[in-house]
Structure 1
């Protein structure tokens, strides 16, 4: 069995005058959400043996804040291909993961992460968690999936089981959308 945890970067600051999107940092709400997600992961026993992440500043800062809440350092393998990657590129990266890792945390960007969940988890009637992912995979959202395989290379579309889907607003109402609809 392999377990994949996908974590989208937290809310970033559009007010920061950076020259490149790659360098955009988190805003204060994003830092709070990421720390709270880390606390949630620790409380719920969400564990991982390895981490692969986009090296974009907002992902780096997300993982730093998650680590504060989690109470343990997070030391990712930074993979430039994960920056704004499509679901198929993310799947290629996943297929290359070390099989010694039973559980893998992958952190990056949308729409790739959302599309990867929708690719890997079959659309079955009544799956409320998958329906929520399809509706939106907001900043700092976490999806955990399980696969009945021994090798990451064997993960294929439609073979995953979505174990959990958690958004920051599920943890605290103040971490929800700025303009609720």
Structure 2
């Protein structure tokens, strides 16, 4: 890929988690989450989204979300479990994106809120009007994903560089 190659970034929030008496990092998915995660995977597959690399938080709920979503895709992309995605700030998320190798054309990140919503808002410089309206109406609910596109290198990702191309959330009206 060249410096001017188009790139796709998909930000997927983990599906609905349960609240058992375990540390936050170990919270599993709730029943609704176990239904919504495969739905997100089917939607990614239906939209033709085929990431070259997936960065997934090490939290139990994100790992379970990705496992269920990936099962619905035509092929499972290479996955890296990244501790820094758990409780990541906007700066942490941008730093992780900036570390992505330039041979990656499409990256999917499975992580948490408020990070996924904040990162979507920070990177969006332009947007498909329907996608933007859905983000503004829905926020960034569990199992939702945003698709952002930009041209350039990962190390140059910064505020306002991307176009919000699509947004999907389960249970949208």
Q: Report the TM-score, using the length of structure 1 for normalisation.
A: 0.86
- Structure 1 distance, partners of 2:118, 2:136, is 8
Matched, 1:2 2:7: yes
Q: What's 2:162 paired with?
A: 160
Deviation by residue 1:126-167 (Cα, 9 ceiling, x = unmatched): 834224324410001010000011x10011211110110000
- Structure 2 distance, partners of 1:148, 1:30, is 33
Q: What's 1:88 paired with?
A: 91
Shift of 1:75: 4.1
Deviation by residue 1:62-118 (Cα, 9 ceiling, x = unmatched): 001101222433542111111021222111100001111100001100001100010
Q: What's 1:145 paired with?
A: 148
Alignment of 1:33-112 (within 5 A): 33-112=36-115
- Structure 2 distance, partners of 1:73, 1:123, is 30
Aligned residues: 167
- Structure 1 distance, partners of 2:136, 2:57, is 22
Give ranges in structure 1 of 5+ residues lacking alignment.
174-181
Q: Which of 118, 122, 141 is 1:119 aligned to? A: 122
Report which structure shows greater RCO (CA 8 Å, sep ≥6).
2
- Structure 2 distance, partners of 1:163, 1:123, is 9
8 Å CA contact 2:9, 2:148 repeated in 1: yes
Give ranges in structure 2 of 5+ residues lacking alignment.
1-5
8 Å CA contact 1:118, 1:130 repeated in 2: no
RMSD value over aligned CA atoms?
1.7
Report the structure, 1 or 2, having the larger strand content. Answer: 2
SS at match of 1:10: coil
- Structure 1 distance, partners of 2:78, 2:37, is 16
